[in-house]
Amino acid sequence: MADPIFPYETRLNILHQPLELIDIPKFAETVDFKWFNQTLCKVNASVVRIGVIEGEYHWHKHDQDDEFFYVVSGRLLIDLQDRIVELSPGQAFVVPRSVVHRTRAPERTVILMVKMPESSRQVTRKNVKKRSSTRGAKRWTNLKRFFVN
């Protein structure tokens, strides 16, 4: 179930094993959530995820990993600190590690993402606040400028 503060449905279980057919359009048709992310399969050390999204994700960064986005249908906006990248179907973009970004979809959009498994933690408002109690409020103070309330 989606968290009310971060209303995203994220499923990390791997749905498909090697040599299985993956029908992206058929799977996307079954999604009723506004912001849905599901791991489809593992490829070498990375995972491929489908996102069926509408709306915006929060500002965040990945300290250890790059993140690849490919638009299947719809339109994806990737906000960076100094520009906005707009992707249409058939287009892709890589956000390098440590780059603060936010993704937005002004309409229902289906994307594929290639990234490291969830063991590579992303820095977000939620886990920075949670960890700040053990690492001190200074860390949150330094990072909160990257996030939109």
What's 97's domain CATH number? Answer: 2.60.120.10
The model carries a pTM of: 0.78
| pLDDT, tens only, 92-140 | 999 999 999 999 999 999 999 999 997 544 554 444 443 333 333 333 3
Which residues constitute the domain of residue 87?
9-118
Compare 23 and 125 and report the one with higher pLDDT.
23
Confidence of residue 148 (pLDDT cuts 50, 70, 90): very low
DSSP assigned state of 119: T
In a domain, 131, yes or no: no
pLDDT of residue 3: 55
Classify residue 61: in a domain, yes or no.
Answer: yes
- Whether residue 123 is contained in a domain is answered as no
Q: How far apart are CA 60 and CA 33, in angstroms?
A: 21
User: Residue 133 corresponds to which amino acid?
Assistant: S
Residue 58 lies in a domain: yes
Contact by Cβ (8 Å): 8, 55:
no
- Are the beta carbons of 96 and 66 closer than 8 angstroms? yes
- How many C-beta atoms lie closer than 10 Å to residue 2's C-beta? 13
**Distance (Å, whole) CA 112 – CA 94:** 12
Where would I find the H helices in 9-136?
A: 24-29, 125-135
Domain count, the chain: 1
pLDDT bracket for residue 6 (50, 70, 90):
low
